[in-house]
Structure 1
Amino acid sequence: MDNFKAFGSQLSSIGSQITPFASRTFQYTKEQLGQAEDKTQLPPDYIDLEKRVDALKQVHQKMLAVTSQYSNEAYDYPPNIKETFQDLGRTVSEKVHLLSSATSPAEAQAALTAPPSAKPQPKTFNHALARASLSSSQLLHQQHTGAGEDPLATALEKYALASERVGEARLAQDTQIQSRFLAGWNTTLNTNLMFATRARKNVERSRLTLDSVKSRAKGTTWKIGGAAPRDDQALSSDELSPEAQEEIEKAEDEFVTQTEEAVSVMKNVLDTPEPLRNLAELIAAQVEYHKKAYEILSELQPVIEGLQVEQEASRTKDFSL
């Protein structure tokens, strides 16, 4: 038992001489082991702000984990598609223009495999659909031997052009989301919330410093095996020396200052309308894309239906002869 007392006295002596960082670490360890006599409690309002900030941080992490896909061009590109360098060489509209001037199957094939005019074409679902539709259209055109054009081949070519336009609209949407939503939410997560985290750490450091100063000034030692200190070992606040009282008051002032600063930072993070503004921008970009896609396909639909009606009428006429 005497050895335990001696060990506790040694720790107390060390605690009065070590650096502020070591004192905080010493105090933190005591608290984790349930050896701290008193722990300064944070105000309930402060605890509530911490919980709200933690929730906001989780919201940003969850949303960004999904919406960050808008930075990945190929997020909807079919994984089973095997497109060649030639397939990705030119846009569908460029290939259609080259095909329009082709006078033979060889020239048509050359138009389809023309070397790239710029960077490889986008790997999105709609772009892939456009390329597949145009390639299918040309397969039908090459094998068509009847009068006029193959109606399905014509329809597929028009669908290819429309699909490419939808794909371009999707890329425009993604660019808007990257700049108007992702950038803002990443800033909130990596800057504003980081400032709040830093302010909270300052509060915790100042609290540990305050409690370590109180513990040292009042003579509270490290307890071994849960043994409580004797009543004559701990001093009351009235028995503290002027120097000890001054040190405690200084630590209390710092704790109050850091707490007030953290409250201000956390309220600012919680009250800023920026995340909601960014979310509105995300929705606006999605609306613009879907509206554009609707307009493109709505324009195409009656054209395809007209080709269908014409083919059915021609088929009926052939059967009636």
Structure 2
Amino acid sequence: MNMDKFASSFSNFGKTVSSSVTPFAARSQQWIKEQTGNAGEKTELPHDYIELETRIEALKQTHQKLLAATSQYANEAYDYPPNIRESVVDMGKSISEKVNLLSKASSASEAQAAITAPPSAKPQPKTFSHAIARASLAGSQALAMATPQGSTEPDPLAQALEKFAIAEEKVGETRLEQDEAIQGKFLSGWSTTLNQSLKAADKARTAVMNARLTLDAAKSRAAAGGRHEESYTEPQRRAIEQAEDVFVEKVDEATSVMRNVLDTPEPLRNLAELAKAQAEFHARAAEILEEVSRSIAEVQMENETSYRKAREGQ
């Protein structure tokens, strides 16, 4: 083996490693000094830059907290009651499908078959409104099947429960539409801002911190032993000047990145979509429930009228 060639290669390798590790080691040493209170004066960041950092931190925390709360919209069962135990039969077909099958049933056995019909290809949603709908229809059918055969009057509560079941299913479907809109028009946008734009700002801020640590480390090395600036060597002056140039460059870059993140209208646009989706859901749900409320009230009035007549005729 040519030892001179090996020595030369090893020396070059050592220089490469030294050039990549030394800046990191210098920054790390400077950071440790600052944390332990053993560092000299730190290079100050521009006031405007510090204000931008404060605003970026506030924006990031806002995104993190609201996303933590609203991410539930991506979980279909976020309002599904934990105490409910529904069977495969209960979850089999939708309320509208079961009501359609029940309307065609001409006997108790056909009605029972409609209730226990094989499940649809798509599982039924696990939302609070859908659970209420399924419980209401099950109650409606239980009362209807318990009504004596030959009775000319259907059970009024069974009628009302069926109407209520249909309405609650509609509310549940509307809630799922709301969730889909929020996922696409709010969660997606805010996640992108947090994971891309704000992450880019954090990366730029880290570059500034590293540049500042490198600069202060160069100043610290030059001032070792209590030397004043006028006694610095030429290499030390050049190292400080180069570090200052990099520091200023990184501050300018980070300032530009942070301003762009803070100025974009996207988060506000996304928030408007969140509010709109909620408003549309609640408005539609109110319409559905108001309509079924009037319908059930009519059944109630008819039932009370029949009840009074029956009592008067006794």
Structure 1 length normalisation: TM-score?
0.88
1:300 partner letter: V
Matching residue of 2:216: 211
Shift in CA distance, 319/54, structure 1 to aligned 2, threshold 3 Å: same
CA separation in 2, counterparts of 1:157 and 1:38? 77
Instruction: Count how many residue pairs are aligned between Structure 1 and Structure 2.
Output: 294
- State the 1:238 CA deviation: 2.5
5 Å-filtered alignment, 1:1-321, equals 19-145=22-148, 146-218=151-223, 220=224, 233-321=225-313
CA separation in 1, counterparts of 2:131 and 2:282? 18
Matching residue of 2:4: none
Give unmatched runs, 5+ long, in structure 1.
1-14, 221-232
Per mean C-alpha deviation after superposition, the further-off stretch among 42-51 and 276-285 is 42-51
The answer as to whether partners of 1:89 and 1:121 remain within 8 angstroms in 2 is yes
- State the 1:116 CA deviation: 1.1
Shift in CA distance, 150/16, structure 1 to aligned 2, threshold 3 Å: closer
- State the 1:243 CA deviation: 2.6
Matching residue of 1:229: none
Matching residue of 1:11: none
> Could you list the per-position Cα deviations for residues 82-126 of structure 1 after superposition, in whole angstroms to 9, with x for gaps in the alignment?
100011010000000111111111111111111112121000000
Shift in CA distance, 192/300, structure 1 to aligned 2, threshold 3 Å: same
Shift in CA distance, 213/154, structure 1 to aligned 2, threshold 3 Å: same
1:131 partner letter: R
- State the 1:259 CA deviation: 0.6
CA separation in 1, counterparts of 2:92 and 2:256? 56
CA separation in 2, counterparts of 1:112 and 1:18? 72
Q: Give SS of 1:182's match.
A: helix
CA separation in 2, counterparts of 1:272 and 1:17? 37
Q: Give SS of 1:163's match.
A: helix
Structure 2 length normalisation: TM-score?
0.90
CA separation in 2, counterparts of 1:64 and 1:217? 48
> Could you list the per-position Cα deviations for residues 155-177 of structure 1 after superposition, in whole angstroms to 9, with x for gaps in the alignment?
11011001000000000000000
The answer as to whether partners of 1:16 and 1:216 remain within 8 angstroms in 2 is no
Shift in CA distance, 18/216, structure 1 to aligned 2, threshold 3 Å: farther
1:313 partner letter: T
Per mean C-alpha deviation after superposition, the further-off stretch among 48-57 and 64-73 is 48-57
- State the 1:34 CA deviation: 1.6
CA separation in 2, counterparts of 1:48 and 1:254? 21
Pairwise CA RMSD: 1.6
Per mean C-alpha deviation after superposition, the further-off stretch among 82-91 and 292-301 is 292-301
CA separation in 2, counterparts of 1:112 and 1:238? 94
1:192 partner letter: S
> Could you list the per-position Cα deviations for residues 107-154 of structure 1 after superposition, in whole angstroms to 9, with x for gaps in the alignment?
111111111121210000000000000000001101112322111101
1:209 partner letter: T
Q: Give SS of 1:19's match.
A: helix
The answer as to whether partners of 1:49 and 1:266 remain within 8 angstroms in 2 is yes
- State the 1:31 CA deviation: 1.5
CA separation in 2, counterparts of 1:55 and 1:150? 59
> Could you list the per-position Cα deviations for residues 30-81 of structure 1 after superposition, in whole angstroms to 9, with x for gaps in the alignment?
2222222221111222112111111111111111111111111011111111
Q: Give SS of 2:226's match.
A: coil
2:159 partner letter: T
Matching residue of 1:9: none
